[in-house]
Each structure stands twice: as C-alpha cells, then as structure tokens.
Amino acid sequence: MNKLDVLAKINPQMKAVLAKEDELAGDANDTSVGFEQMRENYVAGRAFWAEGGPVMAEKRDFAVAGPHGAIPVRFYYPTQEALRGCSAGSPETPGIVYVHGGGFVLGNLDTHDRFCRILAEKTGAVLVAVDYRLSPEAKFPSAVEEVAAVARYLHERGAVHGIDGERLAFAGDSGGAHLDLAATLYLREECGGADWVKCLMLYYGWFGLKDSASMRLLGGPWDGLTEEDWLYYRTMYASDVAELEASPYANLFLNDLTRDMPACYVAAAGLDPLRDDSAALAAILEEHGIPCRYEVFEGVIHAFLHYTKMLDEANDALEHGATFYRQQLGW
C-alpha cells in the first residue's frame, strides 16, 4: 500500500537483469516456499551470475576454529599484476574479510564467488570469504561471533596465509554488510579493540532502522523485501525479534558510531527499502569526521551487486569501493 512504482523507475539494464532472473531456476525471493526451497532456488539462480570474471593466482578453501565449531572460509589470492608490487603470500599484503548477503538465511561461498574475485583483483588484497552458519539453524548472535572469530584469526595468524594482520578490512553485501559492521563493533567492545580493522566496504546493508521513508515506499516481489518478507528474515535470524531491536550487535545504531571507527565506503541502491539505513549511517560518520564515501546508485534495486555481467552500476560500485579502500590503506 502506498508504494512507489519501482518497476517503472528501474533503468534499462536493471530491467534486462530482472528478465534474465525470470529465466533462471526458481524464485529465491518467495519466502512462502520455506527456507530450504529458497536456498535451492538461490543457489541455482546465482550460479549463472557467478560465472566468469577475473582469474585468481590461487583459490584455497580452509577452516578456522570458531566459537560454534569450524568455520569454512575461502582465500582468494589475486594475480601478480593486481598485487601492487608484493608477491602472492607476502606478509605485507593486506586482507579483506568478505561476508555474503542473503538475509542471514541464504548464500554460501559459491553464490558470491564472482564479486569476491572482482574485489580481490581490484583491491590487490587477499580476500577471505566466510561461510558463516545460516539461520534458522543458527540463531543470532552466532553469525556475528563467527565473522569476528575469522577476523581475529587473521589478525593473529594472518602471516601464515601471507596476510598482514594489522591491516585488515571487511566487505559485504546486504546481511553481510550488516555483519561486517556488527563484527567490527563486537571486536571493539568485547574483544579488546579493532584498530587493526582499517576499512569497511558496506553495500546496501541493514544497520538497525525499524522504519524509514524508503521502507514505506519501496520493496516488493522484485527484491523480496516487502514488510512481510523482512519480518520473515528477522524471525529466521533471531529466536525473538525483540532481541534484535535491543541488542547493539543487531540494532547497530545503539552503538557509539562517533569514535574508534574504521573508514567506510557506504553504497546504497536508489530503489531499495534499506536505502535509508545507509543514509543514516553515512550521515553519522560524516558528521563526526570518520572517513566516509557515501554513494547512491540510482535506477537499481537491492542485491544489484550480483549482476556484474549485465549491470554497469554493479561494476562501478565494486570499482569505487576498491578505490576508496586503496586510498585509505595507501595500497
């Protein structure tokens, strides 16, 4: 009710992407089919979009010990041309922890493989993707704790993998962007500090708003983010939705975001119901002198980063995030 006509406002490339999505297996946005069928549809649909792209010097799967058991991760080592003068495996190479989106319910290392490779190539850093446990099997704050555990491991043991543990960053999309910021704050408040986290690349994340103009005006079957869908994801993520509203590691605006924060690249989709979360976060950071670049990519919807095969805005967002990262790290 009272929604904008999003499908009339998306740009031509975004329209072509949605037409292609209709050809692919299943509708991963349909929460009525249940999370198990959603996962099958999501994996099948994302397989096409993950094809192609940059070739890595090495991709290696590994497991990091975590608070709830072993956490699968995947290391992406860019080619020598992308490494900006350092050799692959050099301890001088900074690292990026990538956390995938999917509403805390969907996604794995393969569904986001293409833009992990793109970011590794464009940043010249070693990228480490995290396969955190999904909900509803694992409930909040499990994912926050697991993402933080991987970052702590790389901080302490990164040299074993050719990563400078004093120069780490987070990147992620949607729920992954949420977990990036949540894990950074968890490390800062619960684990003795996070000054070694130098940069965050946050793509269209939810950061804690319960209501906003963008939530009222946007969201539909094209992105799976109606009010009913959003409630579904939150009930999958937490045993009690009220817990998310009260916890500083879910409602991230409960934290003091004016101090001890890394530099942040914050990207939003212009036709995304979560757009105002990014706007609010960026406004706080900018007001208090935290290095920040905020961009709104017009004419596209939530999750647009997947569509680098067909969508200029997806490639631009990854390029701009990588440029901001290199500038902040002097890399």
Radius of gyration for the chain, computed over Cα atoms and rounded to the nearest angstrom: 18
In Å, how far from its chain's centre is CA 177?
Answer: 4
175, 102 in Cβ contact below 8 A?
yes
User: Confidence class of residue 88 from pLDDT cuts 50, 70 and 90?
Assistant: low
- CATH pick for 6-329 out of 3.40.50.1820, 3.40.50.10860, 1.20.1050.90, 3.40.50.300: 3.40.50.1820
How does pLDDT run across 228-258, given as a tens digit for each residue? Answer: 999 999 999 999 999 999 999 999 999 999 9
131 is catalytic: no
Single-letter code of the amino acid located at 328? Q
**β-bridge pairing 95-99 and 168-173:** parallel
Q: Tell me, what's the pLDDT at 89? A: 53
Q: Tell me, what's the pLDDT at 180? A: 98
For 204-253, the DSSP string reads S---S-S--HHHHH---TTTT-SHHHHHHHHHHH-S-HHHHHH-TTTSGG
Around Cβ 243, how many Cβ atoms within 10 Å? 16
**β-bridge pairing 69-77 and 58-66:** antiparallel
How does pLDDT run across 248-293, given as a tens digit for each residue? Answer: 999 999 999 999 999 999 999 999 999 999 999 999 999 999 999 9
214 is catalytic: no
| Catalytic hit among 164, 272, 276, 277 | 272
CA distance linking residue 262 with residue 268, whole number of Å = 19
161 is catalytic: no
How does pLDDT run across 109-139, given as a tens digit for each residue? Answer: 999 999 999 999 999 999 999 999 999 999 9
| Catalytic hit among 100, 112, 302, 306 | 302
How does pLDDT run across 145-204, given as a tens digit for each residue? Answer: 999 999 999 999 999 999 999 999 999 999 999 999 999 999 999 999 999 999 999 999
Please report, for the chain, the start and end positions of each structural domain, with discontinuous segments joined by +.
6-329
For 143-197, the DSSP string reads HHHHHHHHHHHHHHHGGGGT--TTSEEEEEETHHHHHHHHHHHHHHHHSS--TTE
Q: Tell me, what's the pLDDT at 1? A: 85
Instruction: Quote the pTM value.
Output: 0.96
| Catalytic hit among 174, 223, 276, 278 | 174
Q: Tell me, what's the pLDDT at 81? A: 66
